[in-house]
Structure 1
Amino acid sequence: MRRVRIVGLAAMALCLVACSGGGNTVAGVGSASPTTVPAAKVSITAAGGDQVNPKTPIVIKATDGTLSAVTVTNPQSGNKVVGDFSADKTTWTSNDTLRFSAVYQVVATAVNKEGKSVEQKGEVHTLTATAVAAPSLFQAPDVANDFGVGLIIGVKFDHDVNDKAAAEKALKVTSTPAQGGSWYWVSKREAHFRPKQYWQAGSTVKLETGVYGQALGDGTYGGPDVSATYKIHDAWVGKADGNTHQLQAFHNGELVRTAPTSMGKTANTPPRGPTPTFNGTHVVLGKTAHIIMDSCTYGICEGQPGYYKAPENWDVQISGDGEFLHENLATVSVQGSQNVSNGCLNLNTDNAKWFFDNFNIGDPIEVTNSGGPQLAINNGHGDWAIDWATWQSGSALHG
């Protein structure tokens, strides 16, 4: 039985009876027939049985009359629920976000054709979830005005999602022009989306979650939805080759600069041993004109062999564990011939400044022949380092 409690306070319609003027009647002329105007009736509907899903709107309907007033209140918060009347004022439908585990008090008034009013009261109980998994954006849209063609978008939940397929069906990505793509579940709480190839330059990409009130398994339901629109700028792609020790820059497919570089060393030299740059496509995460690079951030601190703390300029970050394109004057003599860095791509001043000025968040840097392992998906935005077949297998719907 639906748990919608209703108390009726109905006004009785009056029956009007015409009386004759005397005891006699004229053939063919009788007393007037009684006329009854039905009382207006109010019903409160919200599908869902004993506990209504909060994504289901509350609907108030009047029959034999029209609605003159509707108030729906959450007494726990004191907030009133926003809704709209139909054009003929026979229906009121909520268009607000309802809460989980709430009792909404409804007071509705309707009038019949004779102007007689009836008031109806009731309660709507929303379901209680074991947990509410609220989504947030993997890539915030406000960190840049626009993004590179290597943009990775996605959703993070603050609780485990056990029914990934249900969640994925509720997630919606649209792009203009249309480019398709697939989801990949990094964990029970995080899913990323990308197309097979880079986004087209000039595209617009929109992400909408649509999970609110969606059952996500084991009593967990989706929390309030989020959405974002991303603008894709010109195609800027860097290609770094560990064999040639060159970093090339392509703008909309055209080679516009070649810079000698020194990547991470592969030799087992003390004190750290090999520190090769990760292979695979990196994505620019951010940039800082001047930074202090401190080896203590990865465990080699002051007093230990190999410790350094050095100011570096024109720093473009390309991985989560501290790989950058940046100026390094100490390695200029071997840039273009040897890989001697701690994992970064070292450049001279002019080249570092040029890449800093032209490369921005979402622009891909493809690293090959570095001698290092593949960049992991959780090390910045290592998603493009995963081949397309493997990426598709990470979808709950296509895997």
Structure 2
Amino acid sequence: MFPKKTFLSVAGILAATLLVSACSSGGDTTGGSAAPVTPGGTSQAATAATVSIDPANASGISPTTPIVVKAANGKLTDVTVTNSKGKSVAGKLATDGSSWTTTEVLGYGGTYKVVAHAQGADGKQVEKDGDVTTVSPKKQANANLIPAPSAVKSTGVGVGQPIVFSFGVAVKNKAAVEKALSVQSSPKQDGSWYWMDDKNVHYRPKEYWQPNTTLTVTAKIYGVDFGNGVFGAEDRTETYKVHDSWIAKADGNTEQMQIFHNGSMVKTMPISMGKDATPTHLGPHVISFKQANYTMDSCTYGVCPPDPKAYRSDEKFSERISNDGEFVHENPNSVGQQGSSNVSHGCINLNAANAEWFFQNFGLGDVVEVTNSGGPQLPVWDLYGDWSKSWTDWQKGSAL
């Protein structure tokens, strides 16, 4: 029989042995060893890389949507995107190898093959394939500019000139298209867009352009959904230069037209405006066309014989100030009434010397302001009635 003290020591040894066994077993009943553990407690077991493509196996996307390839638990080693003809699309790999993005736009109606490889932390390489198909438009719309930049490259435009985009097709998604349009003015001046109809949108500043302003006009419409299956054909950027300020003020009460150059009056001319049956429209007019010898035909705006308002005549030094037959031009037949009464079909008549002077100094975008003519306000849609709207009302014509 052991002494009592010895018995307690053995019991303590047994208890300690059982405690160590319980703490070190880890629940492993197979007898296998556990994975190594780092001092921080994280498993050192390597993980395989995963690769994702965005958009993944997509169809009908905009050609401006970038293709983005990403790697997780590893780095991309190479990515290729090719069209149906095997031509590669340019792209850029992130410095850390985590992503790759196309750097050029795609084409309409194309299918692009994406092949990506990545190497994981386990040292093994994985591959990811995918296809991306771009939308096929029913029709493409061009951003046609008025005035044509080539037509005013040497002369510039006047301070009243609106910038016009004419798309040739109806635009359903006006807000999306308007967001793609911009006019940058230097010096900076506030401006806004106004949709005249479904095909034409105009841009004008709050006040007349400042002389010598540079306008950079951009339409980033490629890939933009116009609605009804129509998409933008191509982007476009053009530059306009605003020349000196030329503003003519024609008064039906005095039958005189005062000419202002950069704010200073430089000349006064006797005039004859539209008679009571065909009064000249009120308000600011903008010159949209000029020709030294021009046949004026009222049939061009729907007034044809036997209508008593119809006319057809050959005139000199003609400058159009609206689309319904209003011009500033020479008229030798009304010289006796110029300065005293209104006898025209709506035009502003001048004598030969004044008409030639006006023709030499006024051009596209210059302004003719008409007061006291007895006529109605020039409609906003009557090229160019843009200045007939207050700034508040003009802004309401924007789709944004």
> Fold match, TM over 0.5?
yes
Q: 1:155: how far off?
A: 2.5
Over 3 Å counting, the alpha-carbon distance change for 1:48 and 1:318 in structure 2 is farther
Q: Which residue does 1:137 correspond to in 2?
A: 145
Q: Does 1:169 align with 2:169?
A: no
RMSD of equivalent CA atoms: 3.7
Of 320, 327, 331 in structure 2, the residue corresponding to residue 328 of structure 1 is 331
Of 379, 387, 391 in structure 2, the residue corresponding to residue 388 of structure 1 is 391
Over 3 Å counting, the alpha-carbon distance change for 1:41 and 1:196 in structure 2 is same
Q: 1:60: how far off?
A: 4.8
Of 87, 90, 102 in structure 1, the residue corresponding to residue 110 of structure 2 is 102
Q: Which residue does 1:12 correspond to in 2?
A: none
In structure 1, distance between residues paired with 2:176 and 2:301: 39
Is the CA contact 1:41–1:65 (under 8 Å) kept in the aligned structure 2?
no
Secondary structure (helix, strand or coil) at the match of 2:392 reads helix
Secondary structure (helix, strand or coil) at the match of 1:379 reads coil
In structure 2, distance between residues paired with 1:220 and 1:301: 37
**Mapping 1:113-262, distance limit 5 Å:** 121-127=129-135, 134-145=142-153, 146-215=156-225, 222-262=232-272
2:251 partner letter = D
In structure 1, distance between residues paired with 2:79 and 2:47: 19
1:363 partner letter = D
Larger deviation, residues 78-87 vs 98-107: 78-87
Larger deviation, residues 151-160 vs 367-376: 151-160
In structure 1, distance between residues paired with 2:54 and 2:176: 26
Is the CA contact 2:80–2:88 (under 8 Å) kept in the aligned structure 1?
no
In structure 1, distance between residues paired with 2:271 and 2:53: 71
Stretches of structure 1 lacking an aligned partner (at least 5 in a row): 1-36, 267-273
Q: Does 1:55 align with 2:64?
A: yes
Q: Which residue does 1:45 correspond to in 2?
A: 54
In structure 1, distance between residues paired with 2:380 and 2:161: 13
Over 3 Å counting, the alpha-carbon distance change for 1:154 and 1:297 in structure 2 is closer
In structure 2, distance between residues paired with 1:378 and 1:396: 17
Secondary structure (helix, strand or coil) at the match of 1:333 reads coil
Higher Cα Rg, which structure: 2
Is the CA contact 1:109–1:119 (under 8 Å) kept in the aligned structure 2?
yes
Q: 1:286: how far off?
A: 1.8
Is the CA contact 1:212–1:224 (under 8 Å) kept in the aligned structure 2?
yes
Q: Does 1:340 align with 2:343?
A: yes
1:122 partner letter = G
Is the CA contact 1:133–1:160 (under 8 Å) kept in the aligned structure 2?
no
Larger deviation, residues 285-294 vs 216-225: 216-225
In structure 2, distance between residues paired with 1:307 and 1:126: 54
In structure 2, distance between residues paired with 1:320 and 1:395: 23
In structure 1, distance between residues paired with 2:298 and 2:269: 26
Q: 1:172: how far off?
A: 2.2
Larger deviation, residues 377-386 vs 128-137: 128-137
Identity, in percent, stands at 47
Q: 1:264: how far off?
A: 1.0
Q: How many residues align?
A: 354
Q: 1:87: how far off?
A: 6.7
Q: 1:217: how far off?
A: 5.6
Over 3 Å counting, the alpha-carbon distance change for 1:370 and 1:90 in structure 2 is same
Q: Which residue does 1:291 correspond to in 2?
A: 294
Is the CA contact 1:70–1:109 (under 8 Å) kept in the aligned structure 2?
no
Q: 1:222: how far off?
A: 4.7
Secondary structure (helix, strand or coil) at the match of 2:160 reads coil
Over 3 Å counting, the alpha-carbon distance change for 1:203 and 1:81 in structure 2 is same
1:45 partner letter = D
Once the two structures are superposed, what CA deviation does each residue of 1:128-150 show, in whole Å capped at 9, x if it has no partner?
56765554334332220211110
TM, length-normalised to structure 1 = 0.75
Over 3 Å counting, the alpha-carbon distance change for 1:369 and 1:171 in structure 2 is same
Q: Does 1:379 align with 2:368?
A: no
